[in-house]
Structure 1
Amino acid sequence: MTSKDLRITDESTTLVDRVEEKLLDYFRENKLMPGDSLPNEVELAKALGVARTVLREALSRLKMMGLVKSRTKVGMTLAEPDILGGMKRVMDPRIMSKNHLLDILNLRVIIEIGMSPFVFMNKTEKDIEELEQIVDRERVLRDNQLSVEEESKFHFKLYEMTGNDTIIQLNQIFAPVFGYIKDHFSKILDDYTKTTPDQQRPSHKDLVNILKDGTADQFQKAMRKHLELYFHLLHKEYQKGDG
């Protein structure tokens, strides 16, 4: 690596931003893979033509993303980034706008309906037994609604059945938002359940029965109806605009 490789010329952003981008370019251009060693700080700072304090700030950003790791006697190496790690750290519904919360709920609904065929395809007898046990332990609270904890147990299991680690992680990240929404918008959800006949809202038990004896298409349609109260909430709140 020479100074010609990394010398910074763009001055449209902050110096730390430019150093960070130049390092990412270097990783890509040299086709570095997770586990590959990186030059030490002295070499990098010299090649970039910047002070080590600036370089360290740029490297700290990459370390926070999980893209760079430092180990004693090994030095810095490239790592596979934890794509969802940063999202998990900031997923606090108390500091999010209403529309941001609704967008996350919308995304979760889209994922759950979209993953239904994979849940059906991957189901095993053990999965069905576990879902039945979850349903048997459920306690219905007000207006035929389940607690957040009871609701989550069932849906967590469905996510697990996809076999997709990224989707499973997303569900864990979204969990605090889902609980907050159920509490914050409880009146809208309660009003919907009061005015909608039970037969129009498939229960968890109904979903398990379809998984056992129905088809993938029937299961996906039932999931769509099961989540209808959230479509109702999203429609009403999006109409109001940001709050």
Structure 2
Amino acid sequence: MTVDPSAARPFPRRKRLAEELVARLSQYIRDGAYKRGEKLPTELEIVEREGVSRTVVREAILRLQAAGLVETRRSVGTFVVDMPPPTSLHIGPETIATLGDVINLLELRIGLEVEAAALAAQRRTVPDLEDLKAALHLMKESSSLKTSIAIHADFQFHLRIAKASGNAYIADIMKHLGTKLIPRTRMNAAYSERKDRLAYLDLLYLEHEKIYDAISIGSPESARAAMFLHLNNSRQRLYRAHDAQTSQ
């Protein structure tokens, strides 16, 4: 009787090997080696190519099935049915180059941060409110300082709302996006006159203050409305700034 060599190995090792095989097979699909609708190699072929046991291959295939990437048809084989998601978010300075890119990012923020503000109003703690108040104060103080300081203060306010939401995934996405969230450099170019720029910064501060007030009193609906108003206003300001620059 043939004994599967993986059966004698500790379970954690077999699990790790299966995870590594899932990653490799997913990459093959992502690279186009196995296209949607195509049949994967047989278990035995994968065993020989990848140097793992049949138990590891079967566990990896089960994981790919659970993820909706492949399906196994009895007596026929296993077929690719979907493309694996990217291994990381491709959002960086090189991908945010046009007004359309900035608008798309703002639309993502509306979907994410409006609900984050509502959750923060429900879940915020006293330390959360203190952190938000400190970030708001920094925004006020930085209005007349360098653009980089003002952008940092703005981002910290939004990041602390994400943390106050109590949802680690929201906070992680916000940290990944970083200060790319804040299209302040484009607006500063539009408001080149000092008085116009200061009026713009004052307006931004008031919008953030309304968000803070809603979270502070624990009103999810008010927080949701205040965040939507701020982000939608930012979108409209970008459109107007773009129109003003192109008409010159």
Tell me the TM-score normalized by structure 1.
Answer: 0.54
Q: How many residues are treated as equivalent by the alignment? A: 178
Q: After the TM superposition, which residues 141-152 of structure 1 pair with which residues of structure 2 at under 5 Å, given as runs?
A: 141-142=143-144, 147-152=150-155
Contact 1:202–1:222 (CA under 8 A) maintained in structure 2 = no
- In the alignment, the residues of structure 2 paired with residue 200 and residue 172 of structure 1 have an alpha-carbon distance, to the nearest angstrom, of 21
Aligned equivalent of 1:186, options 185, 188, 200: 188
Aligned equivalent of 1:235, options 232, 235, 239: 239
**CA shift at 1:154, angstroms?**
1.0
Identical aligned residues as a percent:
15
- In the alignment, the residues of structure 2 paired with residue 109 and residue 173 of structure 1 have an alpha-carbon distance, to the nearest angstrom, of 16
Per-residue CA deviation, residues 9-37 of structure 1 (Å, 9 max, x unaligned), is xxxxx9x61426589x86xxx9xxxxxxx
RMSD (Å), alpha carbons: 4.4
Report the counterpart of residue 78 of structure 1 in structure 2.
none
Contact 1:120–1:211 (CA under 8 A) maintained in structure 2 = yes
Residue segments in structure 2 that go unaligned for 5+ positions in a row: 1-28, 52-63, 70-83
**CA shift at 1:43, angstroms?**
5.9
Report the counterpart of residue 213 of structure 1 in structure 2.
217
Contact 1:91–1:174 (CA under 8 A) maintained in structure 2 = yes
**CA shift at 1:195, angstroms?**
6.0
Contact 2:121–2:218 (CA under 8 A) maintained in structure 1 = no
Q: After the TM superposition, which residues 1-243 of structure 1 pair with which residues of structure 2 at under 5 Å, given as runs?
A: 17-19=32-34, 21=36, 40=47, 42=49, 85-87=87-89, 90-98=90-98, 99-138=100-139, 139-142=141-144, 147-179=150-182, 181-188=183-190, 202-213=206-217, 215-236=219-240
Report the counterpart of residue 57 of structure 1 in structure 2.
none
- In the alignment, the residues of structure 2 paired with residue 154 and residue 221 of structure 1 have an alpha-carbon distance, to the nearest angstrom, of 17
Q: Which secondary structure does the structure 2 equivalent of 1:86 belong to? A: coil
Residue segments in structure 1 that go unaligned for 5+ positions in a row: 1-13, 31-38, 45-61, 68-81
**CA shift at 1:152, angstroms?**
1.0
Match of 1:174, as an amino acid? L
- In the alignment, the residues of structure 2 paired with residue 100 and residue 197 of structure 1 have an alpha-carbon distance, to the nearest angstrom, of 23
